[in-house]
Amino acid sequence: MNRPPAATGAPPTRERIDLWHGSLEHAQWAELQHFLSDEERRRAERFVFERDARRFVVSHAVLRTLLGRAAGISPYEVAFRAEHGLKPVLKASRDEPIHFSLSRSEELVMIGLASHPLGVRRDRQNKEIDTEALAGLVLSRCEQEELRRLKPADRKTAFLRCWTQKEAYLKATGQGLQGLPSAIEAWFGQGKGAGLKSIGGDSHAAARWFVDTVMPREGYIGAVAIRGRRRQVALAEFDTFSLPTKA
């Protein structure tokens, strides 16, 4: 069972992953740019569509707010350094760094905070996708056979559940979409728990990872991956309208 984070300003622990989700719809999104670094503002300006700029600005304002609270610093003091395959990590005067992962899916964002490198991914369940075509690209042969054994009405949800777990793992390792998802096998389908079955055919390698699925909001499915033992997954909603529009 997912539980809310112990405290809004508490850092994640070795036993807990904090997952926050929130809406990216914000009428005053342009006034949240004071949270961003100069580089992030330049990135926001490069978006062709206002919708994409808005989603970027709001999600990064939330990220900096959460990281600042977890580290006990102002969001304007949040700075990053590259670590673990060039994955960014929060620079802070702590014994242990705070690692994070951010995933946007249309108008929702999910952000994970942990004491070790992690990956999070979320997706909308009713999105239009060609499950059969994508299955040949991202699923192993065994997974494709499992998918075909399911009722047609259950296949898209099962596919997204499998794919989000794989992508969360690839993000945690720093590979992202450069990795080969078909070389990773995840548990999925009716009556199956979450987690990885094998990585490159190695079940022992998969057992070294904790992967779990979450339902952050009705109509969405998400996944989180982190190397090591099972952890408590603490899930809560962030009110993006609580963000101040002025510094």
Mind listing the pLDDT tens digit for each residue in 206-215? Answer: 999 999 999 9
Which helix (H) or strand (E) is 158 found in, with range? helix 152-173
| Per-residue confidence band for 84, with pLDDT thresholds at 50, 70 and 90 | low
Partners of residue 21 on adjacent β-strands:
110, 237
**pLDDT of the residue at 175:** 78
If we measure between CA atoms, which residue out of 120, 146, 145, 139 comes closest to residue 214?
A: 120
Phi, psi at residue 104, to the nearest 5°?
Answer: -110, 140
Whether 110 contacts 120, CB under 8 Å: yes
Per-residue pLDDT band for 12 (boundaries 50, 70, 90) equals confident
Span of 46-55, 105-114, 120-129, 188-197 with lowest mean pLDDT: 188-197
pLDDT in tens, 34-64: 999 999 999 999 999 999 999 999 999 999 9
- Most trustworthy range by pLDDT among 78-92, 144-158, 189-203: 144-158
Residue 7 has pLDDT above 50, yes or no: no
Tokens of 39: 């580089």
Domains and CATH numbers, the chain: 16-116+232-242 (3.90.470.20), 126-209 (3.90.470)
Mean of pLDDT over the chain: 88
Residue 217's pLDDT is what? 87
Determine the Cα–Cα distance for residues 99 and 83; give it in Å rounded to an integer: 10
Please provide the DSSP assignment of 65-104 as one string: HHHHHHHTS-GGG-EEEEETTTEEEEE-SSSS-EEEEEEE
Q: List Cα–Cα distances, 31 to 10, 35, 122, 216, 247, in angstroms.
A: 27, 9, 26, 27, 9
Angle at CA of residue 37, ends 36 and 42, nearest 5°: 95
pLDDT at 132 over 80: yes
Contacts of 184 (CB under 8 A, 6+ apart): 140, 166, 169, 170, 196, 198, 199, 200, 206
Q: CB of 198 within 8 A of CB of 184?
A: yes
